[in-house]
Amino acid sequence: MLPRARPLLLTLLLALLPLGFGYWVNTHAPYPPSRARAGHCTRYCALHYCVHVTRANSPAYCQLRPLYAATVRALAAGGRSRYAAVNIGFYLGLLPLLLGWLTYGALRDSQLISKLKYARKP
């Protein structure tokens, strides 16, 4: 296999993991709140704040709620009409490219380090 092909293949395989997880979440978490069960979040909760959470059953969610609200406000800073475009551009464009680039670099460097380590041995 080509020296650059292995880290690239591993990077692509790792990039498919979030897609598979996203598919699983979307098929197992119904959207309409009428089908929601108590204690089971759905995509409705992500869009409208979770209505059944309390500090007792999810202290982490209550602590992170201000961060979530700040993220939504930052993404909507360009106006409500641009919110979806900025959201898609950031979460489906910029962030995956950055993570893919960092993953590829780490895998390439680890491969180079292992080659250099074995090249130094007599």
Q: How far apart are CA 50 and CA 95, in angstroms?
A: 25
Looking at residue 52, what DSSP letter applies? S
* pLDDT tier at 6, thresholds 50, 70, 90: confident
Q: Which residues, including other chains, have CB under 8 Å from residue 49's CB and lie 6 or more apart?
A: 65
Q: How far apart are CA 81 and CA 71, in angstroms?
A: 16
pLDDT tops 80 at residue 106: yes
Mean pLDDT of the chain: 77
Over residues 38-92, the pLDDT tens digits come to 666 666 666 666 667 777 777 887 888 888 888 777 777 766 667 777 777 888 8
Q: How far apart are CA 94 and CA 103, in angstroms?
A: 14
Supply the pLDDT for residue 33.
56
Task: Count the Cβ atoms, other than its own, within 10 Å of residue 42.
Answer: 19
Domain ranges of the chain: 28-78, 80-122
Cβ–Cβ under 8 Å, residues 11 and 105 = no
Quick one: what percent of the chain has pLDDT higher than 70?
73
Task: Look up the pTM and report it.
Answer: 0.46
Supply the pLDDT for residue 42.
65
Q: How far apart are CA 5 and CA 119, in angstroms?
A: 21
Q: Which residues, including other chains, have CB under 8 Å from residue 54's CB and lie 6 or more apart?
A: 62
Supply the pLDDT for residue 84.
74
